[in-house]
Amino acid sequence: MSDHDRTHGCDKCGQPHPRCYGHNGRGLPCGLHPITGLRVCGKHGGSAPQSKTAAARNVEEAKAAKELARLGQKVDVHPAEALLDLVHWTAGEVAYWRQVVTAIADQDEADLTWGRTKTKEGGDDRGTTEEAKPHIAYVLLERASDRLASYAAAALKAGVDERRVQLAERQGDLVASVIRRILDRLNLDEAQQALVGTVVPEELRLLISPTKETA
């Protein structure tokens, strides 16, 4: 269901959904308020563990987007330099996820390819589902690696000296190493550690286009 359905009517009932996107027993729009960070209420899936996780992520992304809109401004930068910045910070993201994947593999290599993918509370089909599937850290490492390769190739094509591209990649590795040492020394609890995988990459991506003062 799109935002258009929220105000103009959904395909299923033809009526707008000012609150939850679900439907009641009569097929009409649900009148309950949605869970913060979601478009549905607890009755229509918002209370599920995976929904709670998605809600928390959506709230953090909304905060980041709001902060970026507040602080962001047009930056006069040469395209080649912008590409070099992307190489620099994406290299840091790659190095960070590589460390995470290595730590997971050191504990139990099977965790990289096998784990819980679904949790259901209540009902006859309650329980957990496990299957062979790449760990999210490994998936994010692959994505970041693909972006890094693309940015590096584009930078070289744009005329950036190969030595500068390699230097930017090494600097990214140093950034990730510093972040990991800081996190290790903070002795984060389980809840805080769960946020690391979301917060660190987000902050690294925000640094790709740093705000610069103009004269």
How far apart CA 189 and CA 129 sit, in angstroms, is 26
Q: Which of 52-56, 98-102, 159-163 has the lowest mean pLDDT?
A: 159-163
Looking at the structure, do residues 128 and 184 belong to the same domain, yes or no? yes
Domain extent, residue 133, equals 77-206
Count of domains forming the chain: 2
Name the nearest CA neighbour of 199 among 183, 178, 181: 183
- Domain contains 213: no
Q: Given this model, what pLDDT does residue 215 score?
A: 36
Would the pLDDT of 136 be above 50? yes
Looking at the structure, do residues 81 and 48 belong to the same domain, yes or no? no
Average pLDDT over residues 130-151: 84
Q: Quote the percentage of the chain above a pLDDT of 90.
A: 7
Instruction: Specify the pTM.
Output: 0.42
Q: Given this model, what pLDDT does residue 214 score?
A: 37
Looking at the structure, do residues 66 and 86 belong to the same domain, yes or no? no
How far apart CA 14 and CA 8 sit, in angstroms, is 8
Looking at the structure, do residues 117 and 136 belong to the same domain, yes or no? yes
- Domain contains 215: no
From 71, 93, 121, the end of a domain falls on: 71
From 51, 71, 91, the end of a domain falls on: 71
- Domain contains 182: yes
